[in-house]
Amino acid sequence: MAGAGGYGSRMARVFSGIQPTGDKHIGNYLGAIRHWVDGQDEHECIYCIVDLHSITVPVDPAQLRQATLSLATLLFAAGIDPEKSILFVQGHVPQHMELAWYLNCTATMGELRRMTQFKDKSGGQESVSVGLFDYPVLQAADVLLYNAGRVPVGEDQRQHLELMRDIAIRFNGRYGDTFVVPEASIPPVGARIVDLQEPTKKMSTTGGTEQGTLALLEDPKRLQKKIMSAVTDSDGEIRYDVEAKPGVSGLLSLQSAVEGITIPELEARYQGKGYGDFKQDVAASVIELLAPLQARHAELAADPAEVERLLRRGAERALEIAVPQVEAVRERIGFLPAV
Ligand code: TYM
């Protein structure tokens, strides 16, 4: 858990982002989106659909357009309130790219090479895009552009957040205090939901299995089927032990995050019970959690023009912060003003 300014702290400006790639899943919801929604009453929140990040690997243009609009619909359906928060599309605010360049000249090759996400995604290949390598610098620009102090993310983003802090501190040291140094806000429960078929891996639409991933808009019958066929083990005991029982432990973590009950309480509840009963309960609570989101999504999806209007409004509000911030950065660096 982050220290001051971390999970649960008040007043800091909040920023977070999500990629418009693949079907968004219950890991995204429990690790991030749910906390974005909860943060709205206490903080000034800015949430971003990071379309620029998603082209670090090849994507089909029509699919990207569709996925961006569909993710916005999903986020509004999940409870992001355009009256309280700013939700916008990253590419609508070009200052993200401009600031990324300035930060590129602050970050080092060595620190980017250490990023485990890059190592995983590149698989050691040199033929990947420069953008994939540079991905964390654009991510740093996203947050520093708004001087956000708090970044609610899942566990897989921890290293990117540490790099972002290092970049901010280095820039501030070189040019004088410019950026708020952000803190990761990683929830104590639900920050790493695992794949139901390969429970040593995180749930992911790009790196995980289809059968082991619970998409947020998935039909309840399919959700039920996937949970009932989750990998477990043969000793029959419902006990949390990630090393010896990764499958059962993954299901316990999932249910704990969904129901807001601790794992020891769940272990006590299921003492002497079988995996079948346990899985039935997990499925019922997942389906119940997602039902309102799915219903709201169906309503909003009927009016894409309204979603686009909300996104335009979001971008206008984001620009009000981003434009003067980039001007301040340019001045600090010493660029001759254009006028
Ligand atoms: P993305 O789109 O992969 O995921 C969005 C959020 O979901 C969390 N998450 C998970 N949480 C729990 N269990 C899982 N299995 C799981 N999988 C994903 C992620 O941690 C994330 O919080 N690089 C980011 C997007 C980004 C960003 C930013 C985030 C771009 N700029 C600035 C914060 C601040 C990403 O690819 O998230």
Q: Which of 26, 28, 200 to mutate to test the pocket of ligand 1 (most atoms within 8 A of CB)?
A: 28
Given a cut of 70, whether residue 1 has pLDDT beyond it is no
Tell me how far apart the alpha carbons of residues 230 and 197 are, in angstroms, rounded to a whole number: 6
pLDDT band at 6 (very low <50, low <70, confident <90, very high): very low
What pLDDT sits at residue 12?
A: 85
Q: CA-CA distances (angstroms) from residue 150 to 2, 6, 117, 171, 237?
A: 10, 6, 21, 19, 39
State mean pLDDT over 158-166.
98
Ligand 1 centroid to 1 CA: how many Å? 17
What digits encode the pLDDT tens for the residues 221-273?
A: 999 999 999 999 999 999 999 999 999 999 999 999 999 999 999 999 999 99
State mean pLDDT over 50-54.
98
What digits encode the pLDDT tens for the residues 311-335?
A: 999 999 999 999 999 999 999 999 9
Residues facing 245 on adjacent strands: 241
pLDDT band at 62 (very low <50, low <70, confident <90, very high): very high
Q: Quick one: what percent of the chain has pLDDT higher than 90?
A: 93
Lowest mean per-residue pLDDT among 99-108, 121-130, 181-190, 218-227: 121-130
Q: If you write DSSP's letter for every residue of 34-77 in order, what string do you get? A: HHHHHHTTTS-EEEEE-HHHHTTS---HHHHHHHHHHHHHHHHH
Cβ atoms within 10 Å, residue 123 = 7
Single pTM value for the model: 0.96
Ligand 1 centroid to 31 CA: how many Å? 8
State mean pLDDT over 9-30.
91
Ligand 1 centroid to 334 CA: how many Å? 34
Given a contact cutoff of 8 angstroms between Cβ atoms, the answer to whether 43 and 18 are in contact is: no
Ligand 1 centroid to 315 CA: how many Å? 20
Lowest mean per-residue pLDDT among 151-155, 207-211, 216-220, 279-283: 207-211
Cβ atoms within 10 Å, residue 190 = 23
Ligand 1 centroid to 7 CA: how many Å? 16
Determine whether the shortest distance from the Cβ of 27 to ligand 1 is under 6 A.
yes
Determine whether the shortest distance from the Cβ of 151 to ligand 1 is under 6 A.
yes
What pLDDT sits at residue 207?
A: 85
Tell me how far apart the alpha carbons of residues 107 and 292 are, in angstroms, rounded to a whole number: 43
∠ CA 98-104-109 to the nearest 5 degrees?
160
Determine whether the shortest distance from the Cβ of 181 to ligand 1 is under 6 A.
no
Query: Given the CA of residue 208, which atom of ligand 1 is nearest to it?
Result: 15
Given a cut of 70, whether residue 3 has pLDDT beyond it is no
Residues facing 88 on adjacent strands: 48
What pLDDT sits at residue 8?
A: 44
What pLDDT sits at residue 7?
A: 43
Tell me how far apart the alpha carbons of residues 295 and 285 are, in angstroms, rounded to a whole number: 16
> How high does pLDDT run on average in the chain?
95
State mean pLDDT over 103-120.
96
∠ CA 35-38-41 to the nearest 5 degrees?
140
The CB-based long-range contact list for 263-272 (8 Å cut-off, 24+ gap) reads 266/238, 267/238, 267/239, 267/240, 270/238, 271/238
Determine whether the shortest distance from the Cβ of 180 to ligand 1 is under 6 A.
no
What digits encode the pLDDT tens for the residues 167-210?
A: 999 999 999 999 999 999 999 999 999 999 999 999 999 889 99
Determine whether the shortest distance from the Cβ of 17 to ligand 1 is under 6 A.
yes
Tell me how far apart the alpha carbons of residues 257 and 27 are, in angstroms, rounded to a whole number: 10
Given a cut of 80, whether residue 4 has pLDDT beyond it is no
Ligand 1 centroid to 59 CA: how many Å? 18
What pLDDT sits at residue 11?
A: 72
What digits encode the pLDDT tens for the residues 284-307?
A: 999 999 999 999 999 999 999 999
Residue 164: CB partners within 8 Å, gap ≥ 6?
A: 136, 139, 140, 143, 144, 151, 182
Tell me how far apart the alpha carbons of residues 139 and 100 are, in angstroms, rounded to a whole number: 8
pLDDT band at 124 (very low <50, low <70, confident <90, very high): confident
pLDDT band at 105 (very low <50, low <70, confident <90, very high): very high
What digits encode the pLDDT tens for the residues 26-35?
A: 999 999 999 9
